[in-house]
């Protein structure tokens, strides 16, 4: 089972857009990630995202690129939500899934799955950054890749 962790694209400043939708640069970065996934034939059957506009937009752009029709707004993916419940969901899953979310949630989840201390700075999760983890058996996770969109330009 593969788990794709994607931080939303660059959002508008709150003063300009209270919903903080994506900037044009944010949309471009996420489209770049979508092309990377498509070019590498990475199919993702389900994409889960939080309720925030910037995260929903990010999920929609990636879904279009990889042909995902199952977009689900899931509780428990907000920035300060505990990562334990999502870890439990991932332990029970067989199919690949992408979680589109925020800081500090995504790096905390990645660290928990990889068995490193929460404060370890393995992932910075810049806007638009994606990491792919793979579960080998029931509990052992390993990092397959992590990439930032501007590295792909």
The reported pLDDT for the residue numbered 18 is: 93
pTM comes to 0.95
Q: What's the mean pLDDT in 93-116?
A: 95
Residue 38 has pLDDT above 80, yes or no: yes
Closest-CA residue to 67 (of 21, 94, 100, 98):
98
**What band does 73 get if pLDDT is binned at 50, 70 and 90?**
very high
Residue 153 has pLDDT above 80, yes or no: no
Domains of the chain: 2-151 (3.40.50.1240)
- Burial track 37-74 (b if 16+ CB lie within 10 A, e otherwise): beeeeeebebbbbbebbbbbbbbbbbbebbebeebeeb
pLDDT > 90: what percent of the chain?
A: 84
């Amino acid at each position: 089972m593969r788990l794709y962790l994607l931080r939303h694209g660059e959002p508008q400043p709150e003063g300009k857009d209270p919903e903080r939708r994506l900037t044009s640069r944010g949309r471009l970065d996420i489209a770049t990630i979508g092309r990377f996934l498509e070019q590498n034939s990475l199919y993702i059957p389900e994409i889960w995202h939080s309720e925030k506009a910037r995260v929903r937009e990010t999920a929609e752009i990636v879904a279009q690129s990889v042909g995902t029709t199952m977009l689900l707004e899931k509780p428990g993916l907000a920035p300060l939500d505990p990562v334990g419940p999502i870890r439990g969901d991932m332990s029970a899953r067989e199919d690949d899934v992408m979680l589109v979310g925020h800081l500090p949630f995504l790096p905390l989840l990645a660290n928990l799955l990889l068995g490193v201390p929460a404060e370890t700075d393995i992932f910075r999760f810049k806007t638009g950054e994606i990491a792919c983890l793979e579960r080998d058996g029931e509990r052992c996770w390993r990092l397959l890749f992590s990439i930032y969109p501007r590295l792909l330009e």
